[in-house]
Amino acid sequence: MSKHLLSKSTFIRSQQCQKSLYLHKKRPFLRDKLSAVQLAKFRRGTGVGVLARELFPGGIDMSPRSPSQYEQKRNETAEALSNHEINVLYEAVFQFDDVLIMLDILVRDGDNWVAYEVKSSRSLSETYMKDAALQHYVLNGCNVKLSDFVLVYINSDYVFNYELDLNQLFIKRSVLTESELQAETIGHQITLSKLTLELSNSPQLSIGIHCNKPYPCDFIGHCWKNIPSNSILHLTTFDEDLRFKLINQGINTIDDLPKEMIQNECQQLQIEALTINEITYNANKIKVYLNSINSTLKKQGSVSLKLLVHRPAVPFIYLTQPYQLLPLALSIRNNDTNATESISFTLDLKGLEDFSKIMNTIFNENNLVITDDTDIIMETLFNVQSILSASFSFSPESAKEQLIGIHQLINEGQVFHPVLRNDWNMNDTILALTGKNNSLKEEVYLINDLLKADGNEETARILQRLATYPQAIFQLFEKIQQLQNMK
């Protein structure tokens, strides 16, 4: 059998954009660097897949160690299927119509088989259904008689109770009928993708909303590189569909935009920022946000706080749920004395108790707590309260009145700058507001390093990097305060 042309992931890629498939296969060097967030998601997916195997223990792992083993593993899979002593296979390898798949779990069911595809998310998407339909198509082509095809995903209502109950953690949903119905379409789409791969140049496809849906494409850096800095595509205050519609009508730059299309002050401010290449903002809105802090509290102190959290797909602490935020470390700076302290928490009930004690001290002794993103603090406080019940001497709801978030200040204060794009990011915000390249280590890396840290010395080194955050947060806060006074 000849080498495959498509896999599960390249087929799914082709469904988003045929050009992306072509570039991935023929011009991989043009791909953007994998972001830290995407890398973390990928690793999480792999871990959940391995855990789900325990739903059907005792199987044989067919995972190829490298692409050179695909053929061998395909042959071993075929042999295993006809061996009636083998009932469960993990990562069984099949190829049909030039598409190679590795099925997460295959379980014998009398003379038939049940296929299981595991997803680490809490809901099923159209992409997952297509993924299942493709695998069903290949299995059918390989004459594997299926009595069912099941998607396995995470039950968001599951609560960990001393021992992991995989049958409660995972939800199983049969998609056999939907997959069968899509067989003909899948066949056509495979043919189309194979034709794309025969082209001598990449297909002439324009950029569009498909560049970010359902996933951000990793060739955006290449395809979008000639978009001018005054393109209307940068106007995130306008609906994305509308921006592409305008481009198709020949309205490419901000200068081309008819005045009557600008509907609010927010859009006007963003247009101004992109035109003059400087920061623009709404001083009144900044004032309103800052005044929402309860100044009647009889406390004096002000601290800057950076909290790192872990969001495990599979819960492991009593009463926690999938993807619930858990405190991992924090760094706190007294804004009057400049003293900074950083602490890491163990991922257990004691760690949650330590976190609640520190938060009690912080919120009881200070009037103002400045952080990068208040949503993270609030969600973590509510989570910890629900697990430990009545662990705080203040109500997490009232903590809102003491909290200021830089992210929220930027949004509420309608602060715009050409480097501030859709994704909130501390380094971009520092660059926009101060003109300096601060290069804080991205928090997703700090979290990853902390989770892997082997010993106190390594943890201390990571906490040192974390300690650079509170000062940066305070500098941004001061900068935004100055903006408010300048108008």
**Residues in touch with ligand SF4 (CB under 6 A):** 16-17, 19-20, 23, 205, 207, 210-211, 217, 219-220, 223
Nearer CB in complex with ligand SF4: 220/266: 220
Q: How is residue 56 written in tokens?
A: 């059907």
When the beta carbons of 26 and 108 are compared against ligand SF4, the nearer one is 26
In whole angstroms, the minimum distance from the beta carbon of 129 to ligand SF4 comes to: 20
Minimum Å distance from CB 161 to ligand SF4? 44
> Cis ω on the peptide bond leading into residue 214 (within 30° of 0)?
yes
Report how far residue 287's alpha carbon sits from residue 264's, in angstroms, rounded to the nearest whole number: 19
Tell me how far, at minimum, the Cβ of 45 lies from ligand SF4, in Å: 21
**Which residue number, 157 or 241, has a Cβ lying nearer to ligand SF4?**
241
Q: What is the 3-state secondary structure (H, E, C) of the chain?
A: CCCCCEEHHHHHHHHHCHHHHHHHHHCHHHCCCCCHHHHHHHHHHHHHHHHHHHHCCCCEECCCCCHHHHHHHHHHHHHHHCCCCCCEEEEEEEEECCEEEEEEEEEEECCEEEEEEECCCCCCCHHHHHHHHHHHHHHHHCCCCEEEEEEEEECCCCCCECECCHHHHEEEEECHHHHHHCHHHHHHHHHHHHHHHHCCCCCCCCCCHHHCCCCCCCCHHHHCCCCCCCEHHHCCCCCHHHHHHHHHCCCCEHHHCCHHHCCCHHHHHHHHHHHHCCCECCHHHHHHHHHCCCCCCCCCEEEEEEEEEECCCCCCCCCCCCCCCEEEEEEEEECCCCCEEEEECCCCHHHHHHHHHHHHHHHHHEEEEEECCHHHHHHHHHHHHHHHCCCCCCCHHHHHHHEEEHHHHHHHCCCECCCCCCCCCHHHHHHHHHCCCCCCCCHHHHHHHHHHCCCHHHHHHHHHHHCHHHHHHHHHHHHHHHHHHHC
Nearer to ligand SF4, 16 or 475 (CB): 16
Decide whether 149 or 219 has the Cβ nearer to ligand SF4.
219
Q: 1 or 37: whose CB is closer to ligand SF4?
A: 37
Report the C-alpha gap between 146 and 139 in whole angstroms.
8
Query: Which C-beta is closer to ligand SF4: that of 196 or that of 282?
Result: 196
Q: Which is nearer to ligand SF4, 227 or 262 (CB)?
A: 227
Taking the least distance from each CB to ligand SF4, the nearer of 99 and 207 is 207
Looking at the Cβ atoms of 93 and 223, the one nearer to ligand SF4 is: 223
Nearest-approach distance from CB 222 to ligand SF4, in angstroms? 7
Nearer to ligand SF4, 22 or 113 (CB): 22
Q: How far is the CB of 270 from ligand SF4 (least distance, A)?
A: 23
Q: What's the closest the beta carbon of residue 26 comes to ligand SF4, in angstroms?
A: 12
Query: Among 137, 150, 145, which residue's Cα sits nearest to residue 52?
Result: 150
Q: How far is the CB of 32 from ligand SF4 (least distance, A)?
A: 9
Residue 298 beta carbon to ligand SF4: minimum distance, rounded to whole angstroms: 55
Query: At residue 477, what are phi and psi to the nearest 5 degrees?
Result: -60, -45
Query: What's the min distance (Å) between Cβ of 359 and ligand SF4?
Result: 43
Q: What is the largest CA-CA distance in the chain?
A: 79
| Amino acid symbol at 341 | E
Instruction: Give 20 or 267: the residue with its C-beta nearer to ligand SF4.
Output: 20
Report in angstroms how near the CB of residue 174 gets to ligand SF4 at its nearest: 32
Based on C-alpha coordinates, what's the Rg of the chain? 26
Q: To the nearest whole angstrom, how small is the minimum distance from the Cβ of residue 33 to ligand SF4? A: 15
Q: Least separation, in Å, of the C-beta of 416 and ligand SF4?
A: 24
